[in-house]
Each structure stands twice: as structure tokens, then as C-alpha cells.
């Protein structure tokens, strides 16, 4: 992510968290907490909904890190969330304890350590294999420099073999935010030249895996768009199956893209238009004829409690923004954007320093003792909307009574049983999550069965008061800044 402190250069990682003793409880039994899937849930493909993880960022690789990113802790949390796809990263590391590349050294002890570290990474991916969790694996090689050609050749050979051995890896992201010099000190042309050879090796070993390029921060930030265009002009899309972007919204709410100038900020569909406009731009650039898909492998807001950092909000607003971001992304996906995966950054906090924004993007605190409201917001969304392929967009003219101009409405249909879904929220930035109002929605459905309101929170769904007449259904709902949705079952 933009300005994240975990990677300064490809092979250099700065301290992000303080070392601490593990909690006395373990999460190995967290299967018991896994949210129940609704009865209509199916198993027809990869869900849109994911999170970013850091399965290298712990004490086994970095002595000054805590142990809480170890997969024995994080895997049960993914199950508790109901998440079945995760974004992970491997780097061309050369420092002795964490080395995955020999850097030209041939001492037996060095090679044994490299091989042991590689074996550990393979074991962690095997746990994802067994758990049925798909992985978008970000592979960070070295920018041009001393021994970079040799190190990239060694690293890419191992990476291709690793990917071939693990069916959980369904897509490979080639580098991370190369438009930022903290991640890539070469040019866009260097990036294309470097990763063309990675792509060839991976394709030879796993022809089915998707190769994703870009991973640019942010979506419409001018320097990032210019960087990506320069790489595309140099041939980037010749070996790509998809584009990755990190649509961080800085301090803006989810309904606005602060860097897109294609419509006034007052446009109620500003974010949706910005997303479609971006993909239209990619379509104009793509002269290869290759069909492309889109991934958002990072997006989020931090909850640092002191100062004001990049994307800073309080914990309740983080949950509000998460719920609204995800439902906006789902809507554009259902209305034609080839969005294959969205990954909240990140599963847990990277540290505990109060005024360090980079420590506080997680759904859970750094040592796993506290779940933020955003955790429960995402859990509720995942339980209901996990099966992305089971929903389709519909255009229903829902008419609100005395509604604020900041009301957002989305309408979908669940294909498996014909239920109508009406999502809604208040995007008024002056309101807090605790403020709600009653609102009457008139929905053009002549016949309906049960009607329930769900919220992106721990709250149980509630039966909604309704009346019917003149070919329409009137429902009284609770409106707040947290996304909610009606489930309107068809009348049997």
C-alpha cells in the first residue's frame, strides 16, 4: 500500500511491529467460530471477497517482529470471517535468517537455510491448499542492480516451481506498487523486462494460473496512471491476464474517488463512474486482443488513534466505509466490470504504535485480542454475499419517503431462489454510526414473501414491517451510515 513501512526495497523490510509474547490461548480450534453459510449458498467459483495477509511477517523470518502473522493464528481467523481467498507476498530476500535467494553464496549452511525457508513457505501454502482457500500470490523480484539478473533468475525458477506445487495459488501478482520508489527503483520498462521472464517460467509450469500486472497505487492518481501507461506501451499486456490496482481513497468516503475529475464530486454515482471510466481507459490501451480482468488486492482505511494519517478514521467509521466500499465494488462487478477479487488491507494490524497509521489498517488488533467493528461488518457481508456468482443486478425503481440526498440504493436479485435484495445506506459524512432514522421504501414488487433487514454488523436480521398495494411493497427500514440490505423472499 502507499507509504506502507513493511517493505522499503524489494529485499529490505523495516520493523513494523514490536515483539510480544503469544497469548495463552490459541486459535487452532476456531473452526467452531466459522460463520454459518446461508442455505442458498453454492460452490460455483471463487468469491469476490478477500483480505490481505502477511504470512512472512513474523518472528520466524524477522526477529524483531511478533508471532501473530503466523499462519496457525491467521488461518482460523479467515475461517471465522468466512473468507476463502487471500492475498499473500513472497520477496527475493537475501538476508541470512529470511533468505529465499542465495545471492551467489554457495556455503552449505547458507544453502541449507535458504532451502529451509523455502520449505516453510511451501508448508504455509500447503495449509491454504488443505483449507480450500485460494491465494493471489504477489511475487516481488529485484529491480536492476548488482546481481539482480542472477537473483531474479534464481528466484523466478523457485517461484514457478512453488506455484506449480500449490493449487491454492490461482493468480500471481507480479510485484507490488512499482510506481512507488520505495518498492521499485527501476523504470516501467525495467519492470516489463524483469517480469516478462517471470511470466514465461510461471506459464510453463502452471498454464492455468492468472498472471496479474500493475498493482498500482492508487486508481486515478496521475503519476500512477502515467507509470502504468508507460509500462503498457512497452508491452506489459502481452503476458498479462489481469490488471491489479490499489484503490485507496485517501481520506475521502467510499462514494467519491478524490482523484477522478470526470464528474463533479456531488454526483451521487461518482465512485461507480470512476471505476467504469478507469476500465474503459484500460480497454483503450489494450491493443493485444487479450481479455483482461481486474483485481483490487489492497484497499482500506486505518484506525490510528493519535494524529491524522493517510486514510485515518475511527473504528466505527472504518466499519461503515468497509461495508459501503464492498457493496459498491459488488455492484459494479454485477453491472459489467470484470472485477475478480477485492482484498481488504489487511486482516490484522501490523503494530500498536498509536500515531503510526501503517499499524492500524487491520480488522483485528495486532496481537489478536480484539476484533474491530469492521471485522463483524465484513463477517456479516461475507455470510450473505460470499457467493458473488449467485447475484445479478436488477433495475428496480425504489422510491424513498422524505429521503436525504445522501441516500444510496442498490438493487440485486439472488439467482438461486429469486429473492430481491435492496441495499441502502446514508453517506452523509456529518453523521455517526450510532445515528439512524426510520425510512419508508416503496419497492415495485407486486408479490413478496418474508422481508428481513440485514446490517453489516453483529446485529441479527430483523423482520421488517411491510404493507402491499397498487403493485408495490412498502417497507419501513432503519437507515444509518452502515450499509444494510433487505432480503425480500419471493411469495410461494
Per-residue pLDDT, 15: 28
Dump pLDDT digits (tens) for 7-27: 333 333 332 333 233 333 333
* Residue matched to cell numbers 516501467: 188
What is the mean predicted confidence (pLDDT) over 206-235?
97
pLDDT at residue 427 greater than cutoff 60:
yes
- pLDDT grade, residue 79 (50/70/90)? very high
Instruction: Indicate the pairing of strand 399-400 with strand 437-443.
Output: antiparallel
pLDDT at residue 5 greater than cutoff 80:
no
Dump pLDDT digits (tens) for 82-115: 999 999 999 999 998 999 999 999 999 999 999 9
CB 221 within 8 A of CB 252: no
Per-residue pLDDT, 25: 35
| pLDDT: which is higher, 35 or 271 | 271
Q: Which helix (H) or strand (E) holds 52?
A: strand 49-52
- pLDDT grade, residue 381 (50/70/90)? very high
What is the mean predicted confidence (pLDDT) over 302-327?
87
> Beta partners for 428?
none
Cα atoms found within 13 Å of the Cα of residue 394, Cβ hemisphere only: 18
pLDDT at residue 154 greater than cutoff 60:
yes
Per-residue pLDDT, 402: 84
The pLDDT > 90 percentage for the chain reads 82
Per-residue pLDDT, 44: 62
What is the mean predicted confidence (pLDDT) over 206-214?
98
Which alpha helices (H) appear in 365-476, and where do they start and end? 373-385
Using CA atoms, how far residue 368 sits from 70, 217, 318, 404, in Å, is 11, 28, 18, 39
Spatial distance between the Cα atoms of 471 and 204, rounded to a whole number of angstroms: 58
What is the mean predicted confidence (pLDDT) over 32-46?
47
CB 352 within 8 A of CB 304: no
Instruction: Give the mean pLDDT of the chain.
Output: 90
> Beta partners for 91?
140
The pLDDT > 70 percentage for the chain reads 90
Per-residue pLDDT, 308: 54
Distance separating the N- and C-terminal Cα atoms of the chain: 49
Per-residue pLDDT, 10: 34
The residues, ordered by sequence, that sit 6+ positions from 130 with a Cβ below 8 Å of its Cβ are: none
- pLDDT grade, residue 310 (50/70/90)? low
Least confident of 12-21, 68-77, 190-199, 268-277: 12-21
Per-residue pLDDT, 49: 98
Q: Which domains does the chain have, with CATH numbers?
A: 30-389 (3.20.20.80), 394-488 (2.60.40)
DSSP string, 303-364: --SSS--TTB--HHHHHHHHHHHHHHHHHHHHTT--EEEEEES-SB-S---TT-GGG--SSB
Assign 281 to helix, strand or coil: helix
Question: Which cell is 254 given?
Answer: 467510499
pLDDT at residue 477 greater than cutoff 70:
yes
Q: How many CB atoms lie within 10 A of CB 163?
A: 23
Spatial distance between the Cα atoms of 316 and 482, rounded to a whole number of angstroms: 9
Strand segments (E) across 150-307: 169-174, 210-217, 242-246, 293-299
Dump pLDDT digits (tens) for 354-368: 888 889 999 999 999
Per-residue pLDDT, 403: 83
Spatial distance between the Cα atoms of 357 and 344, rounded to a whole number of angstroms: 15
* Residue matched to cell numbers 502481452: 238
CB 76 within 8 A of CB 31: yes
- pLDDT grade, residue 314 (50/70/90)? very high
- pLDDT grade, residue 485 (50/70/90)? very high
Amino acid at each position: 500500500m502507499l507509504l506502507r513501512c513493511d517493505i522499503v526495497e524489494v529485499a529490505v523490510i523495516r520493523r513494523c511491529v514490536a515483539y510480544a509474547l503469544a497469548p495463552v490461548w490459541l486459535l487452532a480450534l476456531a473452526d467452531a467460530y466459522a460463520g454459518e453459510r446461508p442455505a442458498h449458498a453454492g460452490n460455483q467459483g471463487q468469491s469476490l471477497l478477500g483480505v490481505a495477509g502477511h504470512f512472512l511477517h513474523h518472528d520466524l523470518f524477522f526477529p524483531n517482529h511478533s508471532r501473530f502473522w503466523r499462519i496457525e493464528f491467521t488461518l482460523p481467523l479467515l475461517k471465522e470471517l468466512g473468507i476463502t481467498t487471500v492475498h499473500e507476498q513472497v520477496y527475493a530476500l537475501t538476508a541470512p535468517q529470511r533468505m529465499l535467494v542465495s545471492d551467489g553464496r554457495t556455503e552449505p549452511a547458507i544453502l541449507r537455510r535458504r532451502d529451509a525457508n523455502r520449505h516453510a513457505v511451501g508448508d504455509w501454502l500447503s495449509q491454504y491448499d488443505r483449507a480450500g482457500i485460494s491465494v493471489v500470490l504477489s511475487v516481488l523480484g529485484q529491480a536492476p542492480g548488482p546481481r539482480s539478473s542472477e537473483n531474479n533468475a534464481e528466484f523466478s525458477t523457485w517461484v514457478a516451481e512453488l506455484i506449480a506445487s500449490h493449487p491454492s495459488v490461482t493468480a500471481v501478482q507480479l510485484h507490488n506498487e512499482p510506481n512507488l520508489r520505495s518498492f521499485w527503483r527501476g523504470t516501467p520498462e525495467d519492470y516489463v523486462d524483469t517480469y516478462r521472464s517471470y511470466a514465461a517460467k510461471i506459464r510453463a509450469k502452471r498454464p492455468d494460473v492468472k498472471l496479474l500486472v500493475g498493482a498500482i497505487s492508487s486508481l486515478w492518481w496521475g503519476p500512477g496512471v502515467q507509470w502504468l501507461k508507460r509500462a503498457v506501451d512497452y508491452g506489459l499486456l502481452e503476458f498479462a491476464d489481469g490488471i491489479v490496482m490499489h484503490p485507496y481513497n485517501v481520506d475521502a468516503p467510499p462514494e467519491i474517488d478524490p482523484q477522478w475529475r470526470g464528474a463533479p464530486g456531488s454526483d451521487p454515482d461518482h465512485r461507480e463512474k470512476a471505476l467504469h471510466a478507469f476500465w474503459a481507459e484500460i480497454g483503450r490501451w489494450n491493443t493485444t486482443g487479450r481479455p483482461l480482468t481486474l483485481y483490487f488486492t489492497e484497499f482500506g482505511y486505518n484506525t490510528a488513534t493519535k494524529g491524522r494519517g493517510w486514510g485515518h478514521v475511527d473504528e466505527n467509521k472504518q466499519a461503515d466505509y468497509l461495508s459501503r466500499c464492498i457493496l459498491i465494488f459488488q455492484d459494479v462487478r454485477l453491472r459489467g466490470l470484470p472485477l475478480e477479487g477485492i482484498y481488504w488491507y489487511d486482516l490484522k494490524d501490523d503494530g500498536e504504535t498509536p500515531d503510526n497509521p501503517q499499524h492500524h489498517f487491520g480488522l483485528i488488533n495486532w496481537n489478536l485480542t480484539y476484533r474491530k467493528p469492521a471485522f463483524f461488518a465484513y463477517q456479516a457481508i461475507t455470510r450473505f454475499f460470499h457467493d458473488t456468482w449467485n447475484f445479478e443486478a436488477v433495475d428496480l425503481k425504489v422510491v424513498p419517503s422524505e429521503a436525504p440526498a445522501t441516500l444510496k440504493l442498490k438493487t440485486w436479485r439472488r439467482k438461486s431462489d429469486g429473492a430481491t435484495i435492496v441495499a441502502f445506506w446514508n453517506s452523509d459524512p456529518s453523521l455517526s454510526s450510532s445515528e439512524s432514522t426510520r425510512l419508508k421504501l416503496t419497492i415495485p414488487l407486486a408479490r413478496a414473501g418474508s422481508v428481513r433487514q440485514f446490517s453489516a454488523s453483529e446485529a441479527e436480521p430483523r423482520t421488517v414491517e411491510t404493507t402491499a398495494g397498487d403493485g408495490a411493497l412498502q417497507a419501513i427500514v432503519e437507515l444509518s451510515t452502515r450499509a444494510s440490505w433487505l432480503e425480500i423472499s419471493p411469495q410461494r
